[in-house]
Amino acid sequence: MPVLPKDIIYLDNNATTPVAPEVVDVMIPFLRDFWGNPSSAYSFGSQVHAYVEKARDQVAALIGADPKEIFFTSCGTESDNSAINSALEVTGKKKIVTTAVEHSALINQCEKLQKKGIEVVFMPVRPDGTLDFKEVEKAVDEDTAICSVMWANNETGVIYPVEEIAEFCKLKGVLFHTDAVQAVGKIPINLKKNKIDMLSIVGHKLHAPKGVGALYIRRRTRYSPTIIGGQQERGKRGGTENVASIVGFGKACELAGQRMDEENTRVKAMRDRLEKAILEKIPDVFVNGDRKHRLPNTVNFAFDFIEAEAILLMLDKTGICASSGSACTTGSLDPSHVLKAMGLTPARARGAVRISLSTYNTDRDIDKLIEALPPIIKRLRAMSPLSREHRDNDSYDVAAARAKFEEEQVKEAKKELTSA
Ligand SMILES: *Cc1c(COP(=O)(O)O)cnc(C)c1O
């Protein structure tokens, strides 16, 4: 077990994960003793190279790739950005097809490219967060440089049919990339059995340290690097290798392969128990996203009539770490772009809380949350005038109250806009 600060219950594993102790152990020699540069000619440096290659084998094995198809990067964001940049450059085409629910790594890059004259189609999703395949058929054409669809969503856990989309893109002669940062290690991935051209992974979402990731590039895919420098990573990614982290990343991938079954049994059972208990114990709560096609570790709740920020602060006081969806929206009043794309009203989206588990969570953690959450929700709702009405009045019309609440929120937002 990784050592967590005392009294902390960590339920935000889609944001980052504790580093596995086995990972720390394999990294230490490369920080303390074997700090040579793997590109050096003398053996003190070059001996390190073999360990980078072992890590490459371990990463490749987890996703059914050839080690020659794995290129180490600094993070998931770099992997995503590099895949898109390369496609625009090698095809010379000026159109990107992606979804409205991608991670900000992709959304913000695409918005910037849009300003530079690249056409970007952000395919809409259904209210349950899933993608209608017809959107892909409509958007992807011969002018498309690349189609990029995430394997699983970081906020809702919804899983997308990327293998089918890759198949379709192949027929159209269009490159296909997937941000698989949340999927790798949680659900089986075998790149030998599909037509995905490029795939992004990051270490810190699967119990490796931060600052190391990889881009899978299928053999014979044309590629143009974003980080240009020395001949590291066979010329596809310049910069001296982050050796210790790469070695740790390799070990984490090996562990993830061994623990995949547990993820889909024990971790999933904990998530399901939590979900059932919260839906039973708390009124006016909804689960965001399709509950069938979903990662085994994630649940995203919408608590009506309250702000998620308030819930998170109160959970924090009891030592529970959870999130309102995306680290990138925390601190701003904007509701999540993912929940907005699913058609949630801003008011409901602002009441969204994401719980994401890992192999290091225990039943005790789940018990604590089930115990802590109902009184917090009750207290916060008691402060909300609408909920008070709800509580004291048997003939209370929930639908009408919700409509009124949302109307008020919209009015408020408009006021903010006009005063800005
Ligand atoms: C975390 C995450 C990223 C970004 O990874 P960084 O290491 O923060 O760059 C990209 N995509 C998804 C789906 C993620 O969850």
Q: What average pLDDT does the chain have?
A: 92
C-beta of 336 in contact with ligand 1 (< 6 A): no
Are 119 and 140 in contact by the 8 Å Cβ rule? The answer is no
CATH class (in words) of the domain with range 260-419: alpha beta
Q: Which amino acid is at 245?
A: S
Q: What per-residue confidence (pLDDT) applies to 403?
A: 64
Does residue 256 carry a pLDDT above 90?
Answer: yes
Break the chain into its structural domains and give their ranges: 21-256, 260-419
**Whether residue 395 has pLDDT greater than 60:** no
**32 or 263, which is more confident?**
32
398 alpha carbon to ligand 1 midpoint, in Å? 37
Residue 182 Cα to ligand 1 midpoint, Å, equals 8
Handedness of CA 235, 236, 238, 243 (dihedral sign): negative
Atom 4 (ligand 1): residue with closest C-alpha? 76
Question: In this predicted structure, what is the pLDDT of residue 112?
Answer: 98
pLDDT average, residue stretch 205-222? 98
**Dihedral angle computed from the Cα positions of residues 76, 81, 84 and 90, in that order, rounded to the nearest 10 degrees:** -110
20 token code pair: 């596995």
- 215 Cβ inside 6 Å of ligand 1: no
What confidence tier does 335 reach under pLDDT thresholds 50, 70, 90? confident
Backbone angles phi, psi at 97, to 5 degrees: -115, 125
Q: 411 C-alpha vs ligand 1 centroid, how far in Å?
A: 34
* pLDDT exceeds cutoff 90 at 100: yes
Give the C-alpha separation, 63 to 374, whole Å.
40
CATH 3.40.50.10790 assigned to domain 21-256? The reply is no
φ, ψ for residue 176 (rounded to 5)?
Answer: -125, 130
133-189 tens-digit pLDDT? 999 999 999 999 999 999 999 999 999 999 999 999 999 999 999 999 999 999 999
Task: Give residue 331's pLDDT band: very low, low, confident or very high (50, 70, 90).
Answer: low
Question: Does the pLDDT at position 394 exceed 60?
Answer: no
pLDDT in tens, 359-371: 999 999 999 999 9
Mean pLDDT of 47-65: 98
pLDDT given for residue 334 in this prediction: 76
- Tell me how far apart the alpha carbons of residues 361 and 13 are, in angstroms, rounded to a whole number: 10
Residue 373's H or E segment, with its range, is helix 363-383
Predicted confidence band of residue 383 (pLDDT cuts 50, 70, 90): confident
**Residue 5: which pLDDT band, with cuts at 50, 70 and 90?**
confident
Amino acid symbol at 294: R
Percent of the chain with pLDDT over 70: 89
Whether pLDDT at 329 is above 60: no
pTM, two decimals, is: 0.91
Q: Is the CB–ligand 1 distance for residue 182 below 6 Å?
A: yes
Say if residues 99 and 150 touch (Cβ distance below 8 Å). yes
Per-residue pLDDT tens over the stretch 226-246 = 999 999 999 999 999 999 999
For residue 385, name the pLDDT band (cuts at 50, 70, 90): low
Our answer on whether the CB atom of 103 is closer than 6 Å to any ligand 1 atom is yes
Is 147 a known active-site residue? no
